[in-house]
Amino acid sequence: MKFTKHTLPLLLAAVMIVPPVLAERASAEMPAGLFDFFRKEEAPETEPLPEDVPPKRGNRSPCKEKEKDCAASAEASNWYCKHMEGGKRPPMPGEMTFIDKHGGYFLGEDDKVLYLTFDAGYENGNVARILDTLKAEEVPAAFFILENLVTRNTDLVKRMNDEGHLVCNHTAKHPDMTTKSQTEFTDELAAMEKIYKDTMGTDIAKYYRPPEGKFTEANLEWANSLGYKTIFWSYAYADWDNDHQMPADKAVKKVLDGTHNGAVILLHPTSATNADILPELIREWKAMGYRFGTLDELTANGDLTKNQT
């Protein structure tokens, strides 16, 4: 083909009218250069650390059946708190201020007190180690548990009770509670209450934590009507994946950097890292002047909004 001064404009015009599918095929078959000219180069994506990523939120609950009682506030939220450093207390997420109206808590008084909470679905050797540390350090905690732990590790749950910890309702089977009707929601909490009472001979503590932190305003309203206070958290980190545990030194630094007055700290006791570092964390917290409170103390005042800075 003979190139003249008119050739390049003609080629450019031809390329501009090539259908996208043909252009894509042509770009794969032709030498690099011609079609690369028209490609928009994309910047490489960099992924932030998972423990610093707020969960996606604001999706609607799939509560579509007319027979379900999906009354007010069916919009699903995922609880999160911004990581702060230097002892700063995190603000309440602006789109979730309604939790205060329905017995929801995430932060205590602006005082040198911490509230340790654990979400425990099963035992892998580390839950017992966590209890050993709490006993040795004389620190109270709250355990949000599932039916599985009661039936398979009854002695462990009995130990939680006997050693002065609160044992609380994390539902029976850890479902997405934002998809439930009020009847289904009530039945799920009641199922956990029953297995606990039948096995332990006592009532479960009336504190509820939504599985994965997913909830609707209606969920909070329903829990409150059942006598439950819903407990969120003001600090958590990526500790739940047993196959991808953070190195101990990094985890200690991360948790201590995020510690603040009145913190409700969420940890997973199945984490080997947490079991390893908890003695050091507790000693450091004590050295920083912190004491350890209970959820009964946290919720005693009943007004969440005045606890914020």
Q: Which of 75, 81, 77, 41 is nearest to 60 (CA)?
A: 75
Torsional sign, CA 14, 15, 21, 22: positive
Report how far residue 104's alpha carbon sits from residue 9's, in angstroms, rounded to the nearest whole number: 67
100 carries an active-site annotation: no
Report how far residue 169's alpha carbon sits from residue 200's, in angstroms, rounded to the nearest whole number: 14
119 carries an active-site annotation: yes
Question: Pick the catalytic residue: 100, 119, 165, 260?
Answer: 119
- DSSP class of 275: H
Question: Pick the catalytic residue: 102, 170, 260, 268?
Answer: 268
Which H/E stretch holds residue 158?
Answer: helix 154-162
The pairing of strands 77-78 and 214-215 is antiparallel
Say what the alpha-carbon torsion angle 122, 125, 129, 130 is, to the nearest 10 degrees.
-20
Which H/E stretch holds residue 208?
Answer: strand 205-208
User: What residues act catalytically?
Assistant: 119, 268
